[in-house]
Amino acid sequence: MIRVLVVDDSSSVRALLEHILGAASGLRVVGSAANGVDALRLAQELRPDVITMDLQMPRMDGYEAIRQIMQSCPTRIVVVSGSEDRKEVDASFRAIEAGALVLVRRPHGIGSPAHAESARALVRTVRAMAEVRVVRRWGDTRRPMPRVQGAQWRLVAIGASTGGPTVLRDILAELPAGFPLPLVIVQHLAPGFTRGMADWLAGASGYPVELARDAGLLLGGRAYLVPEGRQAALGPGPACRLLEAPPEHGMCPSVSYLFRAIDPELRPATAAVLLTGMGKDGAVEMKQLREQGALTIAQDRASSVVYGMPGEAVRLDAAMLVLEPSEIGKLLARLPADPCLPYPFQQ
């Protein structure tokens, strides 16, 4: 049984969340709180498996509550946001920095036609997060490896899911000003958060980040986040196309589509990176990129919130390198100047 603590300053929203979660098989609401102070106290007393957290609350807001909970009694936290207001979206990504795992939209009310699907999305997220490890151990995984032979690098393609925003921040923070390669990123997010993540990621990492545009040129020194509801194809040449195509692995955009839709001419000149996340999105396609001459990198187990996507890449022998985030950033920073890179490797 997954034990859930519901935190929201609105009594009607608390009642809605308690109704949805309490009616779901395998879930039990063990408490509720209307502010961060009570949320912290109940987290320490009840030790729930998952906390759903509002951000705009009196006495102590959700960001500070998350920060203190993760210090005193680390718990899986799902941020439930009810607004696409810029201020709340920014606060949502600060909450991810503080230790929350994922963002989800607040379910629609019972009378809404969208209620059933939005309620199912919340339940799916809570169930999935209950399986995530709370405490991460950042270990030294350096081991000698042969030098990596590369082409004239032209592109970096990155896929990430649960736990990805802060990892992407750490990777981009390692890149120097004027880094000449474009980076194209697929990050699994709940609808409505992509533009806010681009703004947050740029501010948090100090590296320029923007939403990819259809038929837009991919310029060096920038990272491009693929917008929600579109699949991305890269090339020919330094161009991005955004397509209306079905989800893959339940995701749109998906990492699998991105990796597969890199133009054949670009593949030997691509560094493909697969970061923390559930499932297998991108792993098979990463193996194909490796076979076609790309440099392929997976995040290591110790630093991953969820080792599903990178773990599957390792299992398939799709990843040439397995590194923690700062080492991924340092390696990418060296690609333009050094096509022959000695770096640590972990089986």
Catalytic residues: 161, 188, 281
From CA 225, how far away is CA 220, in angstroms rounded? 14
Spatial CB neighbours of 73, under 8 Å, sequence gap ≥ 6: 43, 44, 47
What's the order of all strands across the beta sheet hosting 223-225? 209-211, 223-225, 183-187, 155-160, 270-274, 295-299, 321-323
> What is the spatial distance between Cα 61 and Cα 41, in angstroms, rounded to a whole number?
14
Cross-sheet strand order for the sheet of 239-243: 216-217, 239-243, 231-234
Q: Own/partner pairs for 334-338, CB < 8 Å, 24+ apart?
A: 335/150, 335/153, 335/156, 335/181, 335/271, 335/295, 336/153, 336/179, 336/180, 336/181
Measured from the Cβ of residue 329, the count of other Cβ atoms closer than 10 Å reads 23
Identify the sign of the CA torsion 21, 278, 199, 229: negative
Cα(63)–Cα(74) distance, integer angstroms: 14
- Cα dihedral sign for 17, 70, 187, 227? positive
Q: Which two tokens stand for residue 261?
A: 């839709």
Give yes or no for a contact between 222 and 182, defined as CB atoms under 8 angstroms apart.
yes
DSSP 3-state of 93: helix
Q: String of b and e for 33-46 (b: at least 16 CB within 10 Å)? A: bbbbbbbbebbeeb
Q: Residue 321: count other Cβ atoms within 10 Å of its Cβ.
A: 21
- Comparing CA positions, the residue from 270, 240, 258, 91 lying closest to residue 161 is 258
